[in-house]
Amino acid sequence: MSALFTRNRLIGLALAALVALVDQAVKFWIVGPLDLRFVGRIDLLPFFDLTYTENRGVSLGMFQASSMETRWALVAVTAAIAVVVLVWMMRERKLGDIAGLALILGGALGNIKDRWELGYVIDFADFHIGTFRPFLIFNIADAAITIGVVIILARSLLVRDKGDTQAGDAPRGEAQDA
């Protein structure tokens, strides 16, 4: 196997593809069999509903694509970010870092596909506690991106590499690709 496509990187690529596919499958189910676009909302649990929303902006609904130019600009910017995340992922060696980046990449790909084909991203997951909504309505891709960012931040703050040991400290017996 070439040095570029190590086991961990292949796992990362597969995870990114899986996230994008699951995101698109759920969105198909939301607009197809559930017909949520016309139903509008389905109450599932006391704290979770399915609520159809078309997000024409990016994170938190900012930077709304109000014209074709801004739509394609958002596609281009998010695609460029996805390429940066892919390159970063292919440079990492540790599975924990690769997994976080793969979640971000897979989520980005799912949302880019929506924006490319529809001009907006389909959101539907509505978590709430009574009338309090700690999150905006989101989708599988958004959740994957958020979890991926949390993993990357946690690992960067909490995980120490072997090279970080001080002189005289015995390095721990962790594998290079752990």
Bridge partners, residue 51, by sequence: 41
Of the candidates 23, 97, 123, 126, the residue annotated as catalytic is 123
The answer to whether 97 is a known catalytic residue is no
Of the candidates 142, 161, 169, 177, the residue annotated as catalytic is 142
The answer to whether 114 is a known catalytic residue is no
95-99 long-range contacts (CB < 8 A, ≥24 apart) are: 95/8, 95/11, 95/12, 95/177, 95/178, 96/151, 96/155, 96/159, 96/178, 97/152, 97/155, 98/8, 98/9, 98/11, 98/12, 99/11, 99/12, 99/15, 99/148, 99/151
The set of catalytic residues is 123, 142
